[in-house]
Amino acid sequence: MSSLAAFGRLAAAAWSLARNDALLPRELDDLYPPSVKALSQSLRAFAGPESRSGRPGERLARSFEKLGPVAIKLGQLLSTRADIFGAPFAEDLSRLKDKLPPFPTEEARREVELALGRPIADVFSSFGEPVAAASLAQAHEAVLLDGRKVAVKVLRPGVEHRVAQDAEALTLAARLVERWSVPARRLEPRALAATVVRATELELDLRLEAAGGDELAEIMAKDGYMAAPKVIWDGVGKKVLTQEWAKGAPLSDPATLDLPGLDRKALADKLIRAFLAQALDHGVFHADLHEGNLFVAAPAEITAVDFGIVGRLTRAERRYLAEILWGFLERDYEKIAQTHFEAGYVPRTHSVSAFAQALRAVGEPLFGRTAKDVSMGRVLTQLFEITALFDMRLQPQLVLLQKTMMTVEGVARRLDPDHDIWKAADPVVRRWMLRELGPAARARRFAEEGLDALRAIARLIENPPQPTAVAVTHEPEPARLTWFAIGAAVAGAAFFLAAWLF
């Protein structure tokens, strides 16, 4: 019954897109191949009166609003890529970031009191109207009893049920795509859907978001590229999150870019470096860095809000990411290819050198050119074609990273159309490479391996293998002590070598 309901929602989504002429819009007819053009014209027979008003982006935004939180999240991602889809299309979708219709303030007050278990007057001296409304929640301006200005985020009533329905529909769509589209299987649609669903489900508990925001605020303070508002823990519940008021003006407002004294190039550099420093240095990053979640102040201060989606990387994944970025910075395509093979991203049945050659074909045309001269749509198309030739499959654990990289680059390009993402990334990646792959790092790893060996020997001494019934042998005590001494000597030497190098 659940599958039937999900199929019904998918059909309703297709119908809504067709009614708005947002599935295959008429404005793009000249770009479609003959078969797709014929399908587009057939779908137009179902278009309603609403399809005749507005640009394609406006019609798609209207459809996404009706389709619910997951579709709105997709629209938010698309709105950051003006370099791929065009500025008008991106601008039309940008309203999905924080300008959705709000729910009544009285409902928000009731939700706050239920979540905190006390009257609203016991926490806030004032509680105002909504200042921003997104797919899952809306934010209200308020003042604490001690006079501090804060933002109170409140989940939309009943949003959990809507997300559950969307999750079922998305899961069904992924299964259908995997079954009927052979080329799409390497993108792991079911694993991708599961990742998106899990991330959205975590956003429904604002206590987790508060913890993520608190953790990232500590991390951001170490680098200084970005800041986060302080969490007010007395105002946190499952459906309510209170933070100090974010400094600056919202980046989602087009007028913000014209503020006096704003250094747009420095802001774009800081945004790229903030994301990379979080991901590489700490293995945890804000995974929803679209304009609706960013505030800026002159000359180049950035404050991030909305920590509902936090990405995490293992040490191995961080190393692979850094080596791939470093390879592009140094134009070392052989190294990039080798890293892909070592990580298991490309099957070893293929040639490393051939893959390096293919990467060169994509990377070389990018160097020495300004951002406005590079078509990211063309680059992505080339990458897709090349990775398909080498059977490279999507890595579900890296979905949030890839999605955030696309979003961050899109925002940076909006801040500075001539932005050079590679130049901005260089100092952070170079710092990581020197720290993690230089002589000191090798000595540290040697020391760690020596200590691990010592611990293993100590465990072996404390719990020696039990003799079998077939053959009973006893290692002489002096031999045990000798091995212990050797292990201690190795670990000690490693320790002192590391201390000397540092």
One domain for residues 361 and 489: no
One domain for residues 315 and 381: yes
One domain for residues 478 and 429: no
One domain for residues 422 and 492: no
Tabulate helix, strand, coil % of the chain (nearest 5): 65, 10, 25
Residue 216 lies in a domain: no
Residue of 424, 410, 444 whose CA lies nearest to 329: 424
Only one residue has tokens 């050659």, namely 357
CA distance 226 to 438: 27
pLDDT score for 97: 62
> Which residue among the candidates 21, 92, 288, 306 is catalytic per the annotation?
288
What count of residues does the chain have?
502
One domain for residues 409 and 390: yes
pTM over 0.75: no
One domain for residues 83 and 66: yes
pLDDT score for 480: 43
CA distance 173 to 3: 11
In total, how many domains does the chain have? Answer: 4
Give φ, ψ of 293 to 5 degrees: -110, 15
One domain for residues 283 and 385: yes
One domain for residues 429 and 446: no
pLDDT score for 151: 96
One domain for residues 358 and 407: yes
pLDDT score for 109: 96
Classify residue 394 by its DSSP letter. Answer: P
Residue 224 lies in a domain: no
Residue 243 lies in a domain: no
What pairing do the DSSP bridges indicate for beta strands 301-304 and 249-250? Answer: unpaired
Residue of 240, 235, 246 whose CA lies nearest to 144: 235
Domain end position, chosen among 54, 72, 96: 96
Residue 236 lies in a domain: no
One domain for residues 280 and 329: yes
Domain of 170, in residue numbers: 160-201
272-297 residues labelled b (16+ CB within 10 A) or e (exposed) = bbbbbbbbbbbebbbbbbbbbbbbbb
One domain for residues 431 and 460: no
Residue 169 lies in a domain: yes
Domain end position, chosen among 96, 130, 145: 96
One domain for residues 401 and 464: no
Catalytic residue flag (residue 452): no
CA distance 346 to 59: 39
How confident is the prediction along the chain (502 residues), in pLDDT tens digits per residue? 467 777 787 788 788 888 888 777 877 777 777 877 788 778 777 787 777 777 888 888 888 877 877 777 777 767 766 656 666 777 777 767 667 789 999 999 999 999 999 999 999 999 999 998 888 899 999 999 999 999 999 999 988 888 888 888 878 888 888 887 776 676 677 776 777 777 778 888 999 999 999 999 999 999 899 999 999 999 999 999 999 999 999 998 889 999 999 999 999 999 999 999 999 999 999 988 988 899 999 999 999 999 988 989 988 888 888 888 788 778 899 988 998 888 888 888 999 999 999 888 888 877 766 666 665 556 655 666 677 788 876 666 576 787 788 888 888 988 998 888 878 888 998 888 888 766 666 666 667 667 777 777 777 777 776 665 554 444 444 444 444 443 444 444 443 333 333 3
Residue 44 lies in a domain: yes
Domain end position, chosen among 64, 81, 96: 96
Burial label for 8, CB within 10 Å (0-12, 13-18, 19+), is exposed
Residue 20 lies in a domain: yes
Burial label for 469, CB within 10 Å (0-12, 13-18, 19+), is exposed
Residue 370 lies in a domain: yes
Only one residue has tokens 């790229």, namely 272
